[in-house]
Amino acid sequence: MTNFQEMAIARAINAGLRNKLAENRKVLMFGEDVAQLGGVFRVTEGLHKEFGDAQVFNSPIAESGIIGTAIGLAMRGYRPVCEIQFDGFIFPGFDQITTQLAKMTNRSEGYHRMPVVIRVPYGGGIGAVEHHSESPEAYFAHTPGLRVVSPSNPNDAYWMIQQAIDSDDPVLFFEPKRRYWQKGPVNLDQPPLPLHSARVLHEGHNVTLATYGPMVTVALQAAQIAAEEGISIEVVDLRSISPIDFTTVVNSVKKTGRLVVASEAPNFVSVASEVAARVAEQAFYQLQAPVLRVGGFDIPYPAAKLEEVFLPDADRILEAVDRVLAY
């Protein structure tokens, strides 16, 4: 009998981290306030008490130092899992990530593997101050040598963090912070899919709606509203945004003939842009309408009181659905 347990996304990540810390003493968890405090979102709560300073410890407030330490530990045979406290704080560590971490394995012709996981709470929706709500995933998806993933539900969160830690390549693990306390069933016995596979969450035949991370919940809401109006939307959760499982997306588009891509990030030079371009290449003759993108506006994340205007909602997605169906 399959063992299911109801968890929030934050608790699911915590449970996945606990499994790997217990399984392998060379798995190390560190970052700003992740030990005794359990992180600002309490995702790592209780891990320091269970595993001690040797495996779970606080770092200085120095993101470049956090990443540099992780690279050195990986070179010595450890599997570091480091946390960047908020998405907007990752940029001081950007140079270490893109010029060292991403390139070390290639530069050493495979001699130095980089089994590093960088956990990043990201996205909007929590009413935070400046630098505490960003969608920087495209910077890293653009960088060869990095894997970039984002779970949208507790079951994926539980399994994907463990799969990321098992990877011998560096993984940027983007956690949708406004969904941390969203609950759902977790299958404790079996992972749902390989780390870089997309999944059809809601079957449909009129339009494909591809998205990831925090926008998946909004996409499912849009599909439910559309169904009440007789419109059938197929929702595809990308789960991984580098590499992207284009086969699942393209097969869905070949069935529906239309595609809308949604994300919180601005559309210009985005993950959504890449999905749109690749589908145009691989399913051009099946497309019955142009691919449309729904994203944040091309401005910096606004002040908290304007955040909900900036973030795409079900109405903006359904407007795009109506437009592709009008062709």
Assigned CATH for 4-187: 3.40.50.970
Domain boundaries defined on the chain: 4-187, 199-325
How would DSSP label each residue in 167-224?
-SS-EEEEEEGGGTT-EEEEESS--SS-TT--EEEE--SSEEEEE-TTHHHHHHHHHH
4-187 against 199-325: fold identical: yes
Measured CA to CA, the distance from residue 37 to residue 65 in angstroms comes to 20
The distance between the two most distant Cα atoms of the chain, rounded to a whole number of Å, is 60
User: Cis omega (within 30 of 0) on the bond before 194?
Assistant: no
Residue 300, amino acid: P
- The pLDDT value recorded for residue 155 is 97
Q: Which CATH number, 3.30.1600.10, 3.40.50.920, 3.40.630.30, 3.40.605.10, labels domain 199-325?
A: 3.40.50.920
Residues of the chain with pLDDT under 70: 1
pLDDT at 1: 58
Q: Which of 48, 112, 131, 132 is catalytic?
A: 132
- Degrees, nearest 5: CA angle 321-326-327: 110
Contact yes or no for 30/68 (Cβ under 8 A): no
Q: What is the pTM of this model?
A: 0.95
132 is catalytic: yes
